């Protein structure tokens, strides 16, 4: 039952936002009383915390599968971007913004978990790129993996990148290309250009 509540709450939070969805909404969607939900979660904050960690774990598992199956670190980053975008429903209601505003402690906890996960996986991917001569040999893998996380977090700041001017799809696509062009070798740039041209044709 606990997993069922978390799953439904996650769907609603991502679609409508963490602040907008009430415990009544979740109970109604599940066809149960609020009392049943409170048997598993003391309050909405506890449910939000459990739900965000569950979403995070699911995304991590998906990213791990992509990394295991990837052909090269360039396509891997694009595949991860598409997976995350689809999973988060393109963040149309800015759930991360609502999480940061109304549940700052949970947001900070999640951000650190995101950094720990991304730092490890991006470092591995970058080192793979260096080893296969797709990325320049002289790049500082640790520094750039931190910069990558900082950039991916930064483009979600609505004050700097207003949603009325930029879609999240455009921001992620543009930042990813910006990042890769900065670290690719000549060989890597050929693969990147081919991949982008092929994607644009589809």
How confident is the model over 117-159, as pLDDT tens digits?
Answer: 888 999 999 999 999 999 999 999 999 999 999 999 899 888 8
Residue in the structure block whose two tokens are 């900065």: 182
C-alpha to C-alpha distances, 171 to 37, 78, 187, nearest whole angstrom: 37, 13, 25
How confident is the model over 15-57, as pLDDT tens digits?
Answer: 888 988 999 999 999 999 999 999 999 999 999 999 999 999 9
22 contacts: CB under 8 Å, gap ≥ 6: 44
Report how far residue 169's alpha carbon sits from residue 161's, in angstroms, rounded to the nearest whole number. Answer: 12
pLDDT band at 97 (very low <50, low <70, confident <90, very high): confident
Q: What's the pLDDT at 125?
A: 93
**Which residues on neighbouring strands pair with residue 135, listed in sequence order?**
184
42-47 long-range Cβ contacts below 8 angstroms, 24+ apart? 45/103, 45/106, 47/5, 47/6, 47/9, 47/23
Domains and CATH numbers, the chain: 44-201 (1.10.357.10)
Residue 194 clears pLDDT 80, i.e. is over it: yes
How confident is the model over 44-54, as pLDDT tens digits?
Answer: 999 999 999 99
Pick 32 or 163 by higher pLDDT: 32
Q: What's the pLDDT at 166?
A: 92
pLDDT band at 89 (very low <50, low <70, confident <90, very high): low
Q: What's the pLDDT at 7?
A: 95
- Pair of tokens at residue 116: 């720990």
Q: What's the pLDDT at 202?
A: 62
- Is the distance from CB of 58 to CB of 20 less than 8 angstroms? no
Q: What's the pLDDT at 54?
A: 95
SS (H, E, C) 84-144: HHHHCHHHCCCHHHHHHHHCHHHHHHHHHHHHHHHHHHHHHHHHHHHHCCCECCCCCHHHH
Q: What's the pLDDT at 200?
A: 75
């Amino acid at each position: 039952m606990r997993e069922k509540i978390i799953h439904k709450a996650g769907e609603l939070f991502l679609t409508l936002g963490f602040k907008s969805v009430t415990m009544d909404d979740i109970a109604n969607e599940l066809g149960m009383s609020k009392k049943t939900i409170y048997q598993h979660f003391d309050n909405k904050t506890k449910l939000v915390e459990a739900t965000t960690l569950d979403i995070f774990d699911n995304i991590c598992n998906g990213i791990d599968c992509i990394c295991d199956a990837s052909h090269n670190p360039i396509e891997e980053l694009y595949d991860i971007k598409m997976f995350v975008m689809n999973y988060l429903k393109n963040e149309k209601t800015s759930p991360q913004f609502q999480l940061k505003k109304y549940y700052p402690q949970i947001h900070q906890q999640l951000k650190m978990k995101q950094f720990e996960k991304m730092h490890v996986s991006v470092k591995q991917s970058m080192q793979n790129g260096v080893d296969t001569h797709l990325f320049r040999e002289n790049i500082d893998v640790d520094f750039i993996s931190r910069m990558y996380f900082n950039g991916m977090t930064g483009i979600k700041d609505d004050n700097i990148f207003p949603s009325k001017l930029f879609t999240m799809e455009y921001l992620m696509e543009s930042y990813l290309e910006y990042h890769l062009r900065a670290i690719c070798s000549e060989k890597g740039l050929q693969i990147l250009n081919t991949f982008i041209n092929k994607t644009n044709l589809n």
